[in-house]
Chains A and B, each alone.
Chain A
Amino acid sequence: MHIVSIAAFSLIFLGGIGFFGFKVSKIARNIKLGRPEDRSGNFAERFKIMMLVAFGQSKMVVRPVAGILHLFIYLAFLLTQIELLEIIIDGFTGNHRLVWGALEGTALAGLYTFTINAIEFLSLLALIATVVFLFRRNIVRIARFQKPEMKGWPSKDANIILFGEIFLVTNIFLMNSGDQALQALGVYHQTGEFVLSGILASKLSGVSQETLIIIERIGWWGHLIGIVGFMVYLPFSKHFHIFLAFPNVFFSKLEPKGRFTNLESVTKEVKLMMDPSADPYAAPAEDAAPVSFGAKDVFDLSWKQLMDAYSCTECGRCTSECPANNTGKLLSPRAIMMKTRDRIEEVGAGIDKNGKDYRDEKTLLHNYISPEELWACTTCNACVQACPVNIDPLSIIIDLRRSLVMEESAAPGSLNTMFTNVENNSAPWQFSPADRLNWATEE
């Protein structure tokens, strides 16, 4: 029997890890399809931001209700990993609560009991949070979860994860209360009292030992399967943020938010144009890659912008602060991130099928993101400020605009007029540069 369960455990657990690793390597490959961008250096500062924003959830509490409820789930998740560790050890060795066995009688035994109690307590809080979240999404129907980009799969995804959470917590309590009842019968190790599952165990008095063992085992296997299921599911879900939030925040833009990148390719050409001694007809260097300006597809975005897309939690905090979206425009910064992810996933799938140089006919610009969305942006940075995992939708919007303007010459007519004015009069309006100081002498 032991051998069978060890084998079953190993199969489920290692299979899950293997599949997860496989999917993660695909995502990593997809992210690397992006352009290089230097986000190295400043380790101390980056580490600090990561601890604050990702680990410390500092931007979550801007919305206190969601922030605190999310904190419960987050802490429960972190702490439950300790219990998972014991499940893994027990699973591979065919033991029961081996960690307790090792600690029993030592000074650390109390810590074990305390930890399990803490896990149970946080799990209960997480359960409450999960129910409230389901309520907010499906009954109260909070506005930011009902935007067009949330129709269909994204809303289902969120609910699947929340139900998964309930499944996990239920199993923890099944396992621990079965265990407590069996301890009361003197069958299992005496681990000390687990307060919450102890209360549940008291309801199980009179249940036969065999049934209790089945309850405990259902909880144990259920928890394992829940965790592995989670792992297998994550790479397909917005919930991948539980991993990517950390590196994504670590590699945040550290400069002031108002600073946009200066395109180096443009600098070269502008310098040439302004240098009277440069030969305008000089042939480009042999090895010069063909330059394109701005981003038309995901390959033209940087790896960090693609990592942003995979880190998006689809929480919609960006969109609910966005002035364009707030006034009924088509633009939603969340949709920009979701579409970028959808496109990179599509590109990745194409490469899996047809080899690494495969390119389809589609592009992020036009096939996924329309000029109407892009032109509605006021570049106000509200989305960047609001994002709890420091995603920068604005940088993608600007890179796509650059392609529209510099590659396709497809700016709205009024902007072309503005460009002409800047070029000819050095002001966005039609005033003569000679009149620039007139204000000083006018009444």
Chain B
Amino acid sequence: MSDNLIKVPTMAEMMAAGETPDILFWVGCAGSFDDKAKRVTKAFVKILNKAGVKFAVLGTEEGCTGDPAKRAGNEFLFQMQAMQNIQVMNAYDVKKIVASCPHCLNTLKNEYPELGGHYEVLHHTELIQSLLNEGKITIPNGTFQGKRITYHDPCYLGRANGIYEAPRELLAKLDAALAEMPRNKERGFCCGAGGAQMFKEAEPGEREVNVARSEEALGVNPDVIAVGCPFCKTMMADGVKHFEKEETVTVMDVAEMIANAADL
């Protein structure tokens, strides 16, 4: 890591300076508070800084999108959250959003419009992909060369929104071998966190969902299990630990891998 200083302008600061960012980075609750996810947030910001993207975050004005409440059946709470966020974003005249959490992405993209929030919403892997394509960042060969990587499709990125290729194309740029799990893309198997499961004990059963999925991932003998969702990251990391493989197998978000490889 060459430089730990990151620049994170907020919408309020930008507005005060009379500037309008090109894109709002929606950090999300996990990205703001969860230790593993915060590393992804920072890695992504480094990429944005490096590429010179004019972005801003909402900072303390951002609030939970309401996704966990909605999936848990609390539509009231969801819509309260949604309307508050929409009020804030519309006041800033937000047009375009990038989110590093597929759950945030899904709600912002698919469920906010009906409530008055119309934005173009991208996943961070999609934005990084276009930055790479435009040559705004480059990846020297090296870091992941010869490594075996498997990619776990987050349900809310893959099946829910049909985004399968952007993260895979990024991984392909790393000069590593991509080993697919038996169940991938449309048939990808959940990590077990969605639908507010992250916030409760699992129902009685034979085993945990994340253990089943991690077993499948470990079955292709990866050096890295790549993910694109903060909740998948937690679940898969816990699963790898369950099999006592954390010394040899790392779980990383695609953005962290790119930032690593680009030596940011």
Contacts and interface: CB of A to CB of B under 8 A. Distances in A.
A436 interface: yes
A436 B73 contact: no
Interface stretch (B174-182, B200-208, B245-253): B200-208
Contacts of A438: 32
B224 interface: no
Interface in B193-244: 193-209, 211-213
Nearest to B29: A427
A270 B205 contact: no
Given A323-B192, A419-B74, A256 B162 contact: yes
Given A327-B212, A429-B33, A266 B205 contact: no
Interface string A377-409: 111111011100000000000100111111000
B171 to A, nearest CB: 22
A87 B109 CA distance: 56
Interface residues of A, number: 70
B4 interface: yes
Interface stretch (A161-169, A242-250, A328-336): A328-336
B32 A378 contact: no
Nearest to B62: A436
Contacts of B75: 262-263, 266, 293-294, 402, 406
Interface stretch (A7-15, A143-151, A201-209, A410-418): A410-418
Contacts of B209: 323-324, 326-327, 378
Contacts, number: 219
Contact of A422 (B60, B77, B111, B205): B77
A423 interface: yes
B121 to A, nearest CB: 11
Interface string A283-296: 00000000001100
Contacts of B38: 439, 442
A303 B161 CA distance: 25
A267 B31 CA distance: 28
B57 interface: yes
Contacts of A266: 75-76, 79
A279 interface: no
A398 B57 contact: no
A314 interface: no
A376 B186 contact: no
B63 A401 contact: no
A372 interface: yes
A156 B95 CA distance: 57
Given A381-B155, A419-B72, A427 B59 contact: no
A324 B189 CA distance: 10
A270 B195 CA distance: 22
B187 interface: yes
Contact of B72 (A274, A293, A328, A411): A411
A100 to B, nearest CB: 48
A353 interface: no
A326 B59 CA distance: 40
Nearest to B107: A258
A78 interface: no
Contacts of A271: 83
A280 interface: no
Interface residues of B, number: 74
Interface string B111-123: 1001100000000
Given A323-B209, A378-B155, A406 B32 contact: no
Contacts of B71: 260, 379, 398
Nearest to A329: B205
Contacts of B32: 427, 431, 436-439
Given A256-B110, A270-B83, A427-B29, A433 B73 contact: no
B131 interface: no
B69 interface: yes
A332 to B, nearest CB: 12
A381 B207 contact: no
A32 B210 CA distance: 40
A257 interface: yes
B125 interface: no
B69 A419 contact: yes
Contacts of A257: 159-161
A326 B29 contact: no
Contacts of A66: none
Interface in B28-86: 29, 31-34, 38, 41-42, 45, 57, 59-60, 62-64, 66, 68-77, 79-81, 83-84
The interface centre, meaning the residue of B197, B198, B208 with most chain A CB atoms within 10 A of its CB, is B197
30 contacts: A257-B159, A257-B161, A258-B159, A258-B161, A260-B111, A262-B75, A270-B79, A321-B187, A327-B208, A327-B209, A329-B202, A329-B205, A331-B203, A378-B155, A379-B155, A382-B189, A385-B187, A405-B72, A412-B200, A414-B200, A415-B199, A415-B200, A418-B72, A423-B80, A426-B64, A427-B33, A428-B64, A429-B29, A439-B31, A440-B6
Given A378-B190, A379-B194, A419-B72, 5 more contacts: A372-B204, A401-B73, A404-B73, A428-B198, A440-B6
